[in-house]
Amino acid sequence: MDMAQYIPVLLTKYNYWVYITLMMIGLWAMIAKNNLVKKIIGMSIFQTAIILFYVSIGAKYGATIPILRHGHNGAHEAIRTVDYINPLPHVLMLTAIVVSVATLGVALALSIRIHRRHRTLEEDDILTQLREP
């Protein structure tokens, strides 16, 4: 196994590397950051990485949006699937975007509740406050 054979993998599958990098950035923020809002931002990056992954798997080189053109008199032209990108992963991501927006909303609402009670969003300070009532 020499390194040369991995180079094409790195170059042609760059979409996967991008999504994994983004995912790890998000995960790192969720684990390492002390501020709750930064954690929430990390969570959003994490979810967006997966959305990008799905969007990228539907894309093809030289393909166009999947709107079929009808010929004259209602006749169908022959459809070559290679010419069209796969719309299904993109449609799935519409739902996933809604889910991630809802998650973001719930997370922000919870952090507002936490801020009202503790007057801070730093997790360390909140835990100190909770330890000494």
Partner 1 sequence: MTQHFPALLVTAPLLCALLVSIAGWLRPRLCLPIALVGLGVATLAATGMLAQVLTSGPIGYRLGGWDPPWGIYYFLDQLNAVVAAVVAWVALVNLAASHRAVQADYEDKQGPFYTLYVLAVTGLLGMVATGDAFNLYVLLEISSLTGYALIGLGPNRAPLSSLNYLFLGTIGASFYLLGVGYLYIVTGSLNMADLAELLKPLYGSLAVTTAFSLIVVGLWMKMAFFPLHAWLPNAYSQAPGPAASLLAPLMTKVMVYVMIRMMLSVFTVDFVGTQAVLQQAVGWLAVAAIVAGALFALAQRDLKRMLAYIVVGEVGYMVGGAWLGNRIGMTGAVLHLINDAVMTFCVFLAAGCIFQKIRGTAFEDLQGLFKKMPWTMAALAVGALAIIGVPPTCGFFSKWYLIRGGLEAGHWGFVCALLFSSLVNVVLFFRLFEIAFFEPMAEGNGHGDHHGHAPAVAIAEAPLSMLLPLMAAALGLVALGLATGPLVKYVITPVMPTGLW
Give the nearest distance from C-beta 94 to partner 1 in angstroms: 11
Q: Looking up tokens 């040369």, which residue turns up? A: 4
- Least distance from C-beta 72 to partner 1, angstroms? 29
Where on the phi/psi map is residue 27: left (φ > 0), alpha (ψ -120 to 50), or beta? alpha
By C-beta, is 75 or 106 nearer to partner 1? 106
- Closest separation in Å from C-beta 103 to partner 1: 6
Closest CB to partner 1 among 69 and 116?
A: 116
Kindly tell me which of 74 and 132 has the beta carbon lying closer to partner 1: 132
The angle, 0 to 180 degrees and rounded to 10, between the axes of the packed helices 123-131 and 87-118 is 40
Token reading at 16: 């996967």
Cβ-based nearer residue to partner 1, 10 or 88: 88
Whether 51 and 103 have beta carbons less than 8 Å apart is answered as: no
**What gap in Å lies between CA 64 and CA 109, rounded to an integer?**
40
Residues at the site binding partner 1, with contacts judged by CB under 8 A = 27, 30, 36, 39, 43, 46-47, 50, 53-54, 57, 88-89, 92, 95-96, 99, 102-103, 106-107, 109-111, 113-114, 117, 126, 130
Other C-beta atoms lying within 10 Å of the C-beta of residue 90: 17
